[in-house]
């Protein structure tokens, strides 16, 4: 049996076990999550995990909080939010402090905040900026964790927390 076939066979055997242990989609971060986004079932999970493994970034992505991977022990598939925050930290911090701006509007749109909830979202984010940006050098994952906690604590915005 060739190495490639052995690797695929090992992934097929291990994926259901890892999926059960994780309790979530095991391919929910990294490039595999992007390629197989929206698909469900064991085959897309195996392919996502295999893609991540062969891309060779798993350890780096998980330990650095990049590629939608998180360090909080939860598998996260909200890579678009992570990517947006990572590329717009300074603008987002500025807009949060002012309570308005293009990056704040874009974040609200990315999270699917309705027009009805937008004013509360902006006000809550502005009022809790210190929790969302715990330091000037906050990592993307720290910002996401803070934003998630702030939204979850507000009954009218809690539904958006899972989208962060």
Residues 31 and 88 in one domain: no
Residues 99 and 145 in one domain: yes
Measured distance CA(113)–CA(107) in Å, rounded: 9
Q: What is the pLDDT of residue 75?
A: 46
Residues 30 and 58 in one domain: yes
Measured distance CA(140)–CA(69) in Å, rounded: 10
Inside any domain, residue 73: no
Tracing tokens 């971060």 back to the chain, one arrives at: 29
**DSSP letter, residue 163:** T
Residues 57 and 83 in one domain: no
139: helix, coil or strand?
Answer: coil
Q: Show pLDDT as tens, one digit a residue, over the chain (164 residues).
A: 565 565 555 555 554 444 434 444 455 667 777 777 777 777 777 777 777 776 666 666 656 666 666 555 544 457 789 889 999 999 999 999 999 999 999 999 999 999 999 999 999 999 999 999 999 999 999 999 999 999 999 999 999 999 98
Q: What is the pLDDT of residue 84?
A: 92
Measured distance CA(46)–CA(116) in Å, rounded: 40
Residues 45 and 110 in one domain: no
Q: Of 15, 32, 64, which marks where a domain is finished?
A: 64
Inside any domain, residue 44: yes
Inside any domain, residue 70: no
Residues 142 and 92 in one domain: yes
Q: What is the pLDDT of residue 39?
A: 72
Measured distance CA(51)–CA(8) in Å, rounded: 11
Measured distance CA(3)–CA(152) in Å, rounded: 46
Judge whether 132 and 95 are in contact, CB under 8 Å.
no
Give Cβ neighbours of residue 103 (< 8 Å, ≥ 6 apart): 88, 91, 92, 94, 95
Q: Of 64, 89, 116, which marks where a domain is finished?
A: 64
Record the pTM: 0.57
97: helix, coil or strand?
Answer: helix
Inside any domain, residue 71: no
Split into its structural domains, the chain has a count of 2
Residues 105 and 140 in one domain: yes
Residues 59 and 97 in one domain: no
Give the domain range for residue 9.
3-64
Distances (CA, A) of 86 to 39, 50, 68, 104, 114: 25, 25, 10, 14, 23
């Amino acid at each position: 049996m060739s190495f490639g076939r052995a690797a695929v066979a090992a992934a097929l055997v291990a994926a259901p076990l890892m999926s059960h242990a994780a309790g979530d989609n095991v391919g929910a971060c990294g490039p595999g999550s992007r390629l197989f986004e929206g698909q469900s079932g064991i085959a897309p999970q195996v392919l996502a995990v295999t893609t991540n493994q062969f891309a060779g970034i798993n350890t780096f992505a998980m330990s650095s909080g990049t590629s939608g991977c998180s360090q909080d022990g939860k598998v996260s598939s909200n890579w678009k939010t992570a990517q947006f925050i990572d590329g717009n930290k300074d603008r987002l911090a500025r807009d949060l402090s002012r309570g308005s701006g293009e990056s704040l509007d874009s974040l609200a749109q990315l999270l699917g905040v309705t027009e009805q909830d937008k004013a509360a979202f902006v006000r809550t984010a502005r009022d809790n900026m210190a929790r969302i940006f715990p330091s000037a050098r906050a990592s993307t994952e720290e910002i996401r964790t803070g934003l998630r906690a702030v939204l979850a604590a507000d009954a009218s915005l809690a539904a958006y927390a899972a989208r962060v």
